[in-house]
Every structure is written in structure tokens, then in C-alpha cells.
Amino acid sequence: MAWQQRVADAKMHVTPVIDRDYFHSIYFRQPQGILFEIATTSPGFAVDEDIDHLGEELRLPKQHEHLRPLLERHLTPLTNPRAAERPVEA
């Protein structure tokens, strides 16, 4: 909120705080037209998955969940390098 006020005080248009599920952001353009985003570090990417398994599955913010079928068709699957490090459970 303090950054939002600083941007407004500098006479630049600034967005309301936007909830991006994993963080909160504000956006503004500086006078030369460059778009900036200032984002919080919380709540973080562990809000919807176990911290020990971050990045193992495609996670999307709610506003993009409707794009999942399209994204899954076009994204190249990646091999998780940590998978080889885990012991096989019996």
C-alpha cells in the first residue's frame, strides 16, 4: 500500500492492489511508458501445494485455470531432476 501511495504521489496512474493468488501486485507506467509491477512475496507459491513438491505439477492462479487445457497441449513437459534423487517408496 505504501508503494501504491508513493506512485500516486508521483502523479503516475497506479492500479488498485490486485490479488494474483500467490502474491498481490500493483502496476504502473512511468512517464516514458515502461510498465512496472511491484509484488509482495507472500502468500507464496506453497499456498496450493506441498513445499517439498513445488514445481512438480502445473499450478495456475484461479483467473487462468480456464486456460489449462490449452496450456497443457502447448507446454513442453519437463523432467524433474529431483525425482531421481528421491528414494523409491515400497
* Residue 89: band (very low, low, confident or very high) from pLDDT cuts 50, 70, 90: low
Q: What domains lie within the chain, and their CATH numbers? A: 2-81 (3.10.180.10)
Whole-number pLDDT of residue 81: 79
Instruction: Tell me the pTM.
Output: 0.64
- Residue 79 has a pLDDT of 82
Instruction: Give the DSSP H or E segment for 5.
Output: helix 2-9
pLDDT tens-digit map of 25-69: 999 998 899 999 999 988 888 788 888 888 888 888 888 999 999
Supply 23's cell numbers.
Answer: 502474491
What cell does 14 get? 497506479
Residues 22 and 5 sit within 8 Å (Cβ to Cβ)? no
Average pLDDT score, the chain: 87
